[in-house]
Structure 1
């Protein structure tokens, strides 16, 4: 009896052992199926929670590049949460038990069409076959998933980098990153997820999956400054007509898909004229930069004073994912629309780009920020008042002006009646007081100037010496502040209202009439001459008569 029982239990034990082995057959995303049975009550209650991380070169240590699945306890360290990322998922197959293994029956015609020959709707495939389809694929290869029937788009990831898909049925899902911030240079790889999925220990099923895809991110940077003989500055004072040398260094992000367009734009105010012919574009920064070829690598357009530099596709297609440094240089001239004083003039710069795969209307723009403000250009003026006796305003008194150590300046007399420095045809040296006895000189850089009176009104004497005027920058000022002296004495500069402070140097010249000397060639002079001649002639005649009588 004992022997019979021993032979009866052996087949039972073997059968039980085989069933245990079958429970360990592979399932996609795990080394082996767990021994427990799938809980059918969880059908339609599965979920995927995605926590998005990014960083320069960030790769989770316990994950293949781009993906990690498991519980929240498996969260990687070292990355930064990444907001505003959107994922799209699509169920592509049902779970089936076939040939004593968990396999996948394709249900999505869109997936089958994308996969191409060898994949047919309704056919059953092992995990390795389907996994091979996405190996080496990038998100850009599956952007069309947004048009697949039955796809689900996630909400953008929040500040903690999280978003989720919930109430999912059992099956095989493909997950693709379909939108991401502009600072992403390498996005997450597509991944196939089985719901449910065996845990990493192979001893249970996961119905709530946690994924930790990663991105490589980078920072854009944009600056603008003015190059001078003394170095680089953000605040520069010039005369009207002077040339300003601008430099715009920036760092652009090149996403994995590449760029359709990249454009640098400069928008000046009305007092700055930018020269499109002066534009040069360099790849890189500093001494190591190399100049690009105009009309081959980039083009330049000017519209209404605005400057646009477009990098051409022939150049953009040579770029690899990551960041790329550029330097753009060009010149501008301050014109006679300039305001005087500390208000100054700026021209804002920005660059924008469109990623491949995005519609042309989806433009990412990078502007100057508080850490890299737009530079300002300043200029100043002199308000000369010429007064006579009792404060009378003297019109048509003329002066010339020259800067210390330089020849006499020439000026343009504009419609407002002011004089602005100019070397153009028709510019004149002579400055003449108006009906109010004033000469308004607008658009002078800091420096020492001398005003020489060349003609005055009748009865007044010319000034013996030129009048010295100094416009002096305030040391270390970042606001264009200046002080002034007239004939070596400090004066308070005039404002032009609002924030146009320290704008004009006040200069008042008052003359009194000199001695009343008859003018050369006047009637009085002729009368005196005739009278003198008559007296001399009469005296001569009398002398002759007297001498005759003596004889």
Structure 2
């Protein structure tokens, strides 16, 4: 019995001991207070557009980075994910625990090349063991922060170092995520090595320790999640046109002598639309503010302008490029005086080492011009001209044939800018346009008795706004404007066809005086000139804007493209034009304007009737009959007097 009690007590004691010890064993098995060197780690990176997030009202101060997943941040920043970012990683060394003379601390190995980039000296080392040199995290962090104060130079060095020694991770996907697992434990350097077109400021390089200590300081974790910041921005594009002042000898000094200084001042000012006569030379420019460039990762790999001219215009093939600190400096500049405009740099395609190429061609009926930066040009843009203004100047001439569209449809000139950075599969496109408007006259010549010969009639037409006369070529009553004359003597004498039609094609919207200089015999000339005024078509042109996170697509049909709109939705990537129709008056009375094909308000309709002259007496003509009648009347009166005298009695 005693033996049974002893066995029973021993069994209870053993079970009690097992129950007490079991949780202790479990805790030790799951404990993360010390590093498990048999494990591997992983690094996951979420890439978001913090610039767009701020613009969207996200308060970034609400989020902190701990190395662990932050579901609240991911939910708030989901639509600002950036696709196409490449990060590279490099295991730079071991992580050791140093214990010397009773002093214990964590130390980290760094290779010599990285020490030099960060400016670490041998005196900064915590330990040197053979070819390995170790530093404390405090020293490494301080030196990295100090080195990055110059930002671009250190970033360039680290990016180049990673290009030689690091391993690229997959580009971030449509959710802005990339990751790498099964990584050996140790200290890693992470550098952003490729960026899509809208990234302007890459994340500063950073170190990751695998495993990392929890933010509460409680344990180690092996899967590190990072939320690095990016700043983004896009270039701008603005297309403008003006009448060429050189061809009209207009300068600031003599502009006040013109009939209408306000009209002259606007006419020779760059703007989105202009009105022009045929044969005029026009100054064109497109202005682009270059995007921010911080280091080699944000270098531009493509910066190309594609220009498309309406078929009524012809390129002069004289494009030049100028770089400016600000856009205002270029407002009075054209191809001819760009060398004297105060530009930082002037590029010409004829330069020994050209910075751009200009390629002209045909696309259907429309002329095209491609301005493409060469390797030398991109190198200069990337290293010197971040945030500067690049301006392309060229001239074009309005044709003198029927290719010129008259009226509200106008003659558009479209330009697009395509740019890429180092992540070359990702791009964006901006578009803008300018429009040239021209008009015409459709005059019907009549005679009061319907018998006159319209071909005997002649007009000269003077532009009263700019004080010149029209010069044109034509026949059978149809004319194409070909130039200008300062004097009436050299002006074209416009004559209607035998049916009385006079059509003048290609005039700018201004005030004109029609003076009839000849009429058919027997018909009166007009008392004074007819004043015709055309008010040009007004166009409000809205260029495209880069989407908040760019198009960022490998192809236009890529359904995973993060373009700032839901997949399948249409991109708003077209210029919008809202127009106010042209109008005209004849002698201050509203006139009718008619179409040219599909273009409204192309021609001002006019009708001029010449009246028959009053008949005057002429020898052998009507005057002779009057004399005869007068003689007969006088003779008759004389005979009546004689008869009366005979009847009276003689005294």
TM-score normalised to structure 1 length: 0.65
Instruction: Verify: 1:468 aligned to 2:465, yes or no.
Output: no
CA distance in 1, matches of 2:482, 2:133: 83
Instruction: Rate the CA distance shift 1:81–1:423 in 2: closer, same or farther, 3 A.
Output: same
| Partner residue in 2 for 1:163 | 177
For 2:168 and 2:404, the matched residues in 1 are separated by: 58
Aligned pairs for 1:62-141 within 5 A: 70-72=67-69, 81-88=80-87, 92=91, 138=155, 141=158
Q: 1:348 touches 1:374 (CA, 8 Å); kept in 2?
A: yes
User: Alpha-carbon deviation of 1:440?
Assistant: 1.0
Residue 271 of structure 1 corresponds to 312
Counting only pairs closer than 5 Å after superposition, residues 187-226 of structure 1 correspond to structure 2 as: 187-226=202-241
1:508-532 deviation per Cα after TM superposition (whole angstroms, max 9, x unaligned) = 2344666899999xxx99xx9xxxx
Who is 2:377 aligned against? 312
More off after superposition, 284-293 vs 179-188: 284-293
Residue 8 (structure 1) aligns with: none
Residues 140 and 470 (structure 1), Cα distance of their counterparts in 2 relative to 1, 3 Å cut: farther
Asked if 1 retains the 8 angstrom alpha-carbon contact of 2:45 and 2:179, the reply is yes
**8 Å CA contact retained: 1:284, 1:327:** no
Q: CA deviation at 1:506?
A: 0.9
Query: Are residue 374 (structure 1) and residue 473 (structure 2) matched?
Result: no
- 3-state SS of the aligned residue for 1:346? strand
Query: How do residues 208-287 of structure 1 correspond to structure 2 at under 5 angstroms?
Result: 208-226=223-241, 229-230=265-266, 233-255=271-293, 256-257=295-296, 258-259=299-300, 262-277=303-318, 279=320, 281-286=322-327
| Deviation by residue 1:279-299 (Cα, 9 ceiling, x = unmatched) | 462412255673145456856
Q: Indicate the SS of the match to 1:374.
A: strand
Change (3 A) 1:181 1:274: same
- Aligned match of 2:495 in 425, 428, 432? 432
CA shift, 1:168, in A, is 3.5
Deviations 1:520-547 (A, max 9, x none): 9xxx99xx9xxxxxxxxxxxxxxxxxxx
Q: CA deviation at 1:505?
A: 0.8
- Corresponding residue for 1:303? 360
1:418 aligns with 2:482: no
Contact 2:478–2:504, Cα closer than 8 Å, also in 1: no
- 8 Å Cα contact 2:49-2:81 kept in structure 1: yes
Q: Secondary structure at the match of 2:83?
A: coil
Report the counterpart of residue 342 of structure 1 in structure 2.
Answer: 408
Structure 1 unmatched runs, 5+: 1-22, 24-33, 116-122, 529-551
* Cα offset, 1:347, TM superposition: 1.6
Secondary structure of the structure 2 residue equivalent to 1:383: strand
Q: Secondary structure at the match of 1:410?
A: strand
TM-score of the pair, normalised by structure 2: 0.56
Cα deviation code 1:316-336 (max 9, x no counterpart): 36516x522334444443333
Give a deviation string over 1:182-212, Cα, whole Å, max 9, x none.
2323312344433322123432112332212
Contact in 2 for aligned 1:473/1:480 (Cα 8 Å): no
Matched residue SS, 1:229: helix
More divergent stretch after superposition (343-352 vs 84-93): 84-93
Alignment of 1:356-367 (within 5 A): 364=427, 366-367=429-430
Alpha-carbon distance between aligned partners in 1 of 2:173 and 2:314, rounded to the nearest angstrom: 44
1:211-262 residue CA offsets vs partner (Å, 9 max, x unmatched) = 1222343332222334561355333222223343444332112431144664
> By percentage of residues, which structure has more helix?
2
Q: Alpha carbon RMSD of aligned pairs, Å?
A: 5.4
Measured after TM superposition, the shift of residue 99 of structure 1 is 7.3
Structure 2 residue matching 1:431: 3-state secondary structure: coil
Change over 3 Å in CA distance of 1:298–1:463 after alignment to 2: farther
> How far apart in 2 are the matches of 1:229 and 1:278?
25
Q: Relative to structure 2, which stretch is displaced further, 289-298 or 197-206?
A: 289-298
TM-superposed CA distance for 1:102, in Å, is: 7.8
What secondary structure, in the 3-state scheme, does the structure 1 residue paired with 2:290 have?
Answer: strand
CA contact (8 A) 2:324 2:390 kept: yes
User: Matches of 1:312 and 1:151 in 2, distance apart?
Assistant: 28
| Contact 1:69–1:212 (8 Å) recurs in 2 | no
Distance 1:428 1:519, change over 3 A: farther
Task: Return 5+ residue gaps in structure 2 as ranges.
Answer: 1-27, 55-59, 100-104, 119-130, 148-153, 243-263, 331-341, 362-366, 541-578, 625-651
Paired residue for 1:534? none
| SS of residue matched to 2:288 | strand
| Alpha-carbon distance, 1:504 to partner | 0.7
1:52 aligned residue = 48
Aligned partners of 1:223 and 1:463: how far apart in 2? 50
Aligned to 1:15: none
CA contact (8 A) 1:53 1:212 kept: no
1:399 aligns with 459
How does 1:475-490 map onto structure 2 within 5 Å? Answer: 478=540, 479=579, 481-490=581-590
3-state SS of paired residue (1:433): coil
- Cα distance, 1:348 vs structure 2: 2.2
Shift of 1:456: 4.6
Superposed displacement of residue 495, structure 1: 1.7
Structure-2 residue corresponding to 1:326: 390
Indicate conservation of the 8 Å contact 2:158/2:191, yes or no: no
